[in-house]
Structures are given as structure tokens and as C-alpha cells.
Amino acid sequence: KRKDVPTTLRLTGGECRGRYVNMPNVHARPMMGMVRESLYSMMLSACDLEENMSMLDIFSGSGVVGLEALSRGMGHVTFCDFSSTCARAIRENCEELGFGDRFEVAVTRAEQLLADPMSFNVSSPVDIVTLTPPYTEVDWKELISTLVHSPALGPDTLVFIEYAQEIGILPENLGGGKLVGLRQKKFGRTYLAFYVNQPTGKIRVKVKSEDFAPVQAFSGFREMQAF
């Protein structure tokens, strides 16, 4: 394990606020606390988390993003990570926190789950998707293309994507306008982008186009607008 990675992370809201979750013994980069807080601030500005809602936490690691959602009222979370070590840590964290049958863990590639969610017992569409991949260890074009065409996304599905500034900057729209950018925030070298899929108008957050103003030119992300 890297010396700069904590062995535990603390949940910051909901019924399990203040409880700690264990980090898996892998080379992982957990989402920073300030980014996680911003994610949930944006999420809760758009909707209330309720027991009839479902979520995909993709590239889960310790599962802290999805665990935070369960703590704050999300009905069910499917965690997705390719690492069996991470999957074991997620199950242990869920059981320790008493989340019972409110979770599933899929040990698979993100693209496989997004392409065929039913094969992993994911009832589509889901209400929220979070993508927090390793910054440089994914094919971003393939990942975003699979995301925008995924059966897991339905009208008004909220999508949060964490990525590094070195990659470029995500455009306001993805998939030919299917995914519409609402907010984007920067934390050092980290960006957090917030999209809604095929918005019907019921989401409480309005588009803030200036958040998506170009910071760096990167043709790969510009091409994603047309997927």
C-alpha cells in the first residue's frame, strides 16, 4: 500500500456519519473528502435520496462513495470494481455498517457492466451513476462511449465523473447531447463533472455552462460530444 493512502476513511453524512470504512490493501487513490462532499452537495441539490432509488458506484475501491449514499438514504447500490481485494473490502464494509441486502458487488470491468447491466443483476435504469476511475489507467474514449450508450441510464439518471486535469476537460454535452452537463468543479488537479441523462425537466439543478469553459484543448474529449 502507498504510504500516502489512508487505511480508513470516515463517512461524513447520514445514519452512519462518523463511522469509518476500511481501505483495501491495493494501490488505490480514494476520492478526497472535499470532492466527496462536493459530489453529495451537488447530488442532494438535484434530488433527495430515497429507499426506492438505485445507484451504480463504478471503480468503487473501498466503496466509500456508495457507502456514503447508503448512509444518506439510497435504497440500493451496486458496487463495481475489477479487483477481488476491493470487492472483499466492500462486502466487509457493507456488513460492518449493517447495510444488509441493500447492496451488490460486481467483480468486473466497468465497460462490461455498463454494456450489459442485467448480467450483473442491475435493474435498469438506475437513478445515479458515479465514475471514479484511475486517472491514467483507463481508455477514456471507450469508457465514455460505453457509458452514454448504457442501458443502465434512463431519463434523468444523474452521472458524476471524477477525472484529472492532465487528461483535458470534459465537454458540456456527451453522446450528441444525451448527457447534459450541469456543473463542473475543480479541486487542485481533480475535476468533478455532473451530468444528467436525457433530462425531462424534473431535476432541480439548472445548467451552468460556464463551468465547462475550455481549460485545456484535448481533441479526445471534444470528440466525445459526438458519440
Beta strands in the chain (DSSP E): 8-10, 20-22, 54-58, 76-80, 103-106, 126-131, 153-164, 173-174, 179-187, 190-197
pLDDT at 1 over 90: no
pLDDT for 165 equals 86
Sign of the alpha-carbon torsion through 206, 163, 133, 89: negative
pLDDT for 219 equals 46
Considering the chain, what percentage of its residues have pLDDT values greater than 70? 89
Beta strands in 67-144 (DSSP E): 76-80, 103-106, 126-131
For 61-100, how does the pLDDT look when each residue is reduced to its tens digit (9 = 90+)?
Answer: 889 999 999 999 999 999 999 999 999 999 999 999 999 8
Among 111-125, 126-140, 204-218, name the one with the lowest average pLDDT.
204-218
pLDDT for 2 equals 42
What's the rounded mean pLDDT across residues 148-177? 93
Mean pLDDT over all residues of the chain?
Answer: 88
H helix or E strand, kind and range, residue 27:
none
What's the rounded mean pLDDT across residues 157-178? 91
